[in-house]
Amino acid sequence: MTLSFFDQFASPTHFGIPLMALALTLPWILFPTPSARWLNNRLITLQGWFINRFTQQLLLPLNLAGHKWAAILASLMLFLISLNMLGLLPYTFTPTTQLSLNLGLAVPLWLATVIIGMRNQPTAALGHLLPEGTPTPLIPILIVIETISLFIRPLALGVRLTANLTAGHLLIQLIATAAFVLLPIMPTVAILTATVLFLLTLLEVAVAMIQAYVFVLLLSLYLQENV
């Protein structure tokens, strides 16, 4: 049975039951739970330090009204990093390569920022659709362009995360296949290919963390415009 390179992105099923919910639930089981003790272990201390540093860096440009989103953004950051990193392990499935999941995360959060802006400061929120000093003949065109760009934001969030992770997984699989094919024919070239594969894997680890950070960072920027 010949498998396609894109079969790794198919949603896994067992006896016809989709396992997407299991793939989304598993990362939360791996997180250490805080304890009531005065002294925690190293893992919980490292997790707390990471969350504190990330929250300070992310919420620095936001005012106090935007700090209410700290728990949501920090949880989303940990969730996306865990899914992206676990997806780099062999024989695993990466849920964040599914556009439907990424749009399911991006659209509600983006819509919440827009609704907050329309409720708290409708004049300023609508003012983003028309830059100051626009010539009168260009006003209708710019309003249409800015409205389209506003509605494209959640689509860009989902597509960016999906495309980067999908491209990385495909490159890893292509280079790994080339290394296995070249091993009995040209061992030297196969070793060089395996070295490239190792470096690409390190790059994908960085991409998995960076894309999760970019996803949450852009959400915080959208929030900054509306609070």
Burial bucket for residue 143 (CB in 10 Å: 0-12, 13-18, 19+): middle
Residue ranges per structural domain of the chain: 8-226
Whole-structure pTM value: 0.83
pLDDT greater than 70 at residue 27:
yes
> From residue 169, how far is each of 63, 156, 161, 221 by CA, in Å?
38, 20, 12, 28
How many CB atoms neighbour CB 103 within 10 A? 18
Which of 15-24, 51-60, 212-221 is the least confident region? Answer: 15-24
Mean pLDDT of the chain: 84
- Selected residue with higher pLDDT from 191 and 122: 191
Is the pLDDT at 17 greater than 80? The verdict is: no
Cα 90 to Cα 81: distance, rounded to the nearest angstrom: 17
**Across residues 201-211, what is the average pLDDT?**
92
Cα–Cα dist 50/57, whole Å: 11
Burial class (CB in 10 A: 0-12, 13-18, 19+), 61: exposed
Residue 5's pLDDT band, with cuts at 50, 70 and 90, is low
Is the confidence at residue 3, as pLDDT, over 60?
no
Using the predicted structure, report yes or no on whether residue 199 has a pLDDT greater than 80: yes
pLDDT at 195: 92
